[in-house]
Amino acid sequence: MLAVLDSTTLLELAAARLGTPPEDPVDGPVRVGVDLGTATTVLVVLDRDDRPVWVDTHPSGALSDGVVVDFAGAVASVGGLKRRAEQVLGVELRDAATAYPPQIPLADARACRFVCEAAGFGEVALVDEVSAAQRTLDVRDGVVVDVGGGSTGVGVFRGSELVALDDRPGGGHHLDLVLAGALGLSLSEAERYKREHPQEALPVLVPAFQRIAESVRLMTLGAEDLPVHLAGGALMLPGADTVVATWLERPVVTHPHALFITPLGIARAAS
Ligand SMILES: Nc1ncnc2c1ncn2[C@@H]1O[C@H](COP(=O)(O)OP(=O)(O)OP(=O)(O)O)[C@@H](O)[C@H]1O
Ligand SMILES: [Mg+2]
């Protein structure tokens, strides 16, 4: 058994494995995580030492606010990711774990499991996204915030115990809407502009980041003493963390490749 990897090393490894097979063949059992996101579906395969050996993504569109709105599309997306991983790694992927945003009805959470089963997985474990993110970051006392494409999920952890969990609409898609409106761009142009011109995009997006921060503040009343850890892709824009920290008047901790934090933790929840 190798030494336990810290979260930064894990995230760097995951980023290095994105679409890149490992040099050595995978030996022994693997664990699979499927993150059905509003913006992106991510599949992560971990080896027996919890090291990422394969990471792959597919643009989503099959979910809205964490709810599966296009079941067939979601199944096709997960099935495609599963087959590609099996081909590349030369192993059959049997079981998996998947996650749902906190606060959605149980029936909608179960739909995430049904998508994975219909895509060919056997046993599918179900966890909430924020607890999955915490598994990667191992935050003992802190607030874990997952700002994805569609929603902002928040978990408050004290002594590693989850003491509060919430989720509200608001994420990268809303940032794209603001940019598109302000600069006269289409949504896909706004998405590209945000990534290619982050410095120019930031000032336009400050009020939108402040709105996300205010939503975090309202969801974490009573936890003002705790630092805030950022997961998810939407706050990866350089400078967004400072806007959030200033608004919240609390330390904000960023992590590299934040959009892999939740998918990695989901895979760690698989049997
Ligand atoms: N480099 C980047 N700079 C700015 N934004 C980014 C960057 N990379 C990704 N994003 C944004 O991150 C969002 C996707 O993040 P993530 O993959 O965490 O969402 P998701 O899991 O699909 O959504 P949700 O969790 O809400 O269902 C998109 O809105 C995208 O625009
Ligand atoms: Mg997500």
The answer to whether the CB of 270 is under 6 A from ligand 1 is no
Map out the domains of the chain with their CATH numbers. 7-132+260-268 (3.30.420.40), 139-255 (3.30.420.40)
Q: List the beta bridge partners of residue 18.
A: 55
Which of 11, 18, 40 should be mutated for ligand 1, with most atoms under 8 A from CB? 40
Percent of the chain with pLDDT strictly greater than 70: 99
**Token digits of residue 220:** 């974490």
Q: Calculate helix-pair angle for 187-196, 198-219, nearest 10 degrees.
A: 100
Going from the Cα of 190 to the center of ligand 2, the distance in angstroms, rounded, reads 20
Q: What is the mean pLDDT of the chain?
A: 94
The Cα–Cα gap between 98 and 180 comes to 32
Going from the Cα of 125 to the center of ligand 2, the distance in angstroms, rounded, reads 17
Cβ atoms of 234 and 243 closer than 8 Å: no
The answer to whether the CB of 60 is under 6 A from ligand 1 is yes
Which of 195, 197, 199, 262 should be mutated for ligand 1, with most atoms under 8 A from CB? 195
Burial class (CB in 10 A: 0-12, 13-18, 19+), 88: middle
59 CB contacts (<8 Å, ≥6 apart)? 39, 40, 41
Instruction: Report the range of poorest mean pLDDT among 99-108, 139-148, 201-210.
Output: 99-108
The answer to whether the CB of 195 is under 6 A from ligand 1 is yes
Q: How confident is the model at residue 1 (pLDDT cuts 50, 70, 90)?
A: very low
